[in-house]
A = this chain, B = another copy of it.
Amino acid sequence: MRAAMKYWDDIKVGDRAAYRPRTVTAEEIVEFGRKYDTQPFHIDAEAAKETMFGGLIASGWHTCAVMMSMLVESLAETKAAGLGSPGIESCRWPNPVRAGDTLTGESEVLEVWPSKSKPMGFTRGRTRLVNQRGELVLELVGLSMYARRPGAAA
């Protein structure tokens, strides 16, 4: 059986989605850092030892990108009619992501409302990622857009 497409109309406050585990390697941390965030604690394991972080850590934006890769995997599995995001309301990196960390996480829908002008709707949701020691590495409240079920917005 093929799963049915999941539209905004199918999403309810309190809905949760759990993400598959994802391991972040030193190579990936350094590759992202060299391209987008060349602070020493993101690109050089030796230099990072001398910083307040005591070793290589992922750029916070890399942590967000990894979260997104987990989220889009979940969207694809549920055939969600996602239409991107207008922005995020808050994002905290309470603990750094270190080389070899395996992240898991989940999202919860906090609020839903339809667009008044387009055949789509919005959700506000909270996403949390933790590492293999249970330490919170990302807490984000963000907005998402989803297509309405055909005919539902009329």
Contact = CB atoms under 8 A, between A and B. Distances in A.
Interface in A29-46: 32, 35-39, 41
Contacts of A60: 84-85, 87
A55 interface: no
A83 interface: yes
A118 B108 CA distance: 35
How many monomers of this protein are in the complex? 2
A51 to B, nearest CB: 8
Size band of the interface chain A makes with B: 35 or more
B87 A89 contact: no
A123 to B, nearest CB: 15
Given A37-B68, A61-B65, A65-B61, A93 B82 contact: no
A93 B93 CA distance: 20
Contacts of A32: 65
